[in-house]
Amino acid sequence: MKNKKLLLSIGVVIVVLIGSFFAFELGKRSSGNAQTEEVQKVSILQYVSHPSLDDIRQGVEDGLAQSGYKEGENIEIGFQNGQGDQSKLATMSQQLIEDSPDALVGIATPAVQSLANETNDIPIMLGAIADPVGNDLVDSMEEPGGNMTGVSNQVPIDQQLELAKQLLPEAENMGILYSSSEDNAKPQVVEAEKEAEEQEFTTERYAVPSSNEIQQTIQAMDDVDFIYIPNDNTMANAMSTIVSEADKKDIPIIPSVDIMVEEGGVATVGIDQHELGVKTGEMTADVLDGADPAETPVYVYDEGKTYVNQEQVEKYGIDLPEAVEEEAEFVDEE
């Protein structure tokens, strides 16, 4: 008789425990789905306007929305654009942080660097950063260790130069055009030189301090059979100048992004820029839900799709190998 009572009370206790566990889990899940009334605040700092970064930024908002964070409902999104100006970036970073947002998003390396100078506490999401370790933003991709995590786009330079070899089999010398003021460009230049050797191209560096020097730099190129452009914001922003100068000298361009192919490059293997933003937005939502940036691995995109500009292919009389033609997406200006 006693035993029965004891068993019964143990049973009741177990049922209550299980019940409250589920109630707790449900509660957690609903806040995870951003169903709570509380409005969170995210502030985005974009380095400069160029089509790729604009796509990434739209992606961030889409990724947040897909994760349940909708503007005007449960999230407030602040935005500033540094217009490629370091001193503006610094002032804007301070302003954004004064509002004590729940998370910050930096789009492009200079924006993240500027935010990182201002706070070690507020989470900073990496928006398509080429080399977070090389630029000392995180300890490692696996364990970032501080207040930053997010998305890294590692340009598939090997595949891009392989494609260059296929399309321009006669080319010998590759000119690398990049900005000397962007930390994100340098590691890519080194990598491009390594991969160029692999494809038996010789290389020459053309570093420009700002977009003002692009025109004269291209005019002064001799013996350059094609121009390679890394994921460089200054170049992405000046693509129309680059294309018109290179066209004058009949130098084909192999850029590192599909959008630059659309703008007049010949071809590339490119990573979807909007997708980079969506993933950044989703990871931002995870952090708003409580994920710790220090322990959230940086997500790496390093595979792309082949994009070809038909008009440029015709201009340079390029024979598209069948394999390339089959897998390529054709993009054109307009």
Q: Does 153 bind ligand TRP (CB under 6 A)?
A: yes
Close Cβ partners of 17 (under 8 Å, ≥ 6 residues apart): none
C-alpha of 104 from chain center: 15
* Single-letter amino acid code for the residue at 247: D
CA distances from 301 to 152, 277, 294, 298, 331 (A): 6, 11, 20, 10, 22
Separation of alpha carbons 8 and 24, rounded Å: 24
- The CB density around residue 85, as the number of other CB atoms within 10 Å, is 14
x/- mask, ligand TRP, residues 55-94, rule CB under 6 A, reads ----------------------------------------
| Site size for ligand TRP (CB under 6 A) | 14
For helices 51-66 and 273-288, give the axis angle rounded to 10 degrees: 40
Binder of ligand TRP out of 45, 115, 125, 130 (CB under 6 A): 130
Binder of ligand TRP out of 81, 273, 280, 312 (CB under 6 A): 273
Q: What is the 3-state secondary structure (H, E, C) of 240-292?
A: HHHHHHHHHCCCCEEECCHHHHHCCCCEEEECCHHHHHHHHHHHHHHHHCCCC
Choose one: 62-70, 87-95, 125-133, 241-249; the region binding ligand TRP (CB under 6 A): 125-133
Q: Does 129 bind ligand TRP (CB under 6 A)?
A: yes
Is the Cβ–Cβ distance between 139 and 297 less than 8 Å?
A: no
Q: Give the neighbor-by-neighbor strand order of the sheet with 305-308.
A: 267-270, 305-308, 329-330
Smallest distance from the beta carbon of 279 to ligand TRP, in angstroms? 12
In degrees and rounded to multiples of 5, residue 250 shows phi and psi of 55, 40
Residue 34 or 258 with smaller CB distance to ligand TRP: 258
Give which of 115, 48, 52 is closest to 82, Cα–Cα: 48
Separation of alpha carbons 143 and 140, rounded Å: 5
Smallest distance from the beta carbon of 130 to ligand TRP, in angstroms? 4
Q: Does 128 bind ligand TRP (CB under 6 A)?
A: yes
Choose one: 59-67, 137-145, 229-237, 277-285; the region binding ligand TRP (CB under 6 A): 229-237
Smallest distance from the beta carbon of 299 to ligand TRP, in angstroms? 14
Choose one: 33-41, 65-73, 84-92, 122-130; the region binding ligand TRP (CB under 6 A): 122-130
Q: Does 44 bind ligand TRP (CB under 6 A)?
A: no
Residue 128 or 318 with smaller CB distance to ligand TRP: 128
Smallest distance from the beta carbon of 285 to ligand TRP, in angstroms? 20
Q: Does 113 bind ligand TRP (CB under 6 A)?
A: no
Q: Does 184 bind ligand TRP (CB under 6 A)?
A: yes
Q: Which residues bind ligand TRP (CB under 6 A)?
A: 52, 108-109, 128-130, 153, 184, 231-233, 236, 257, 273
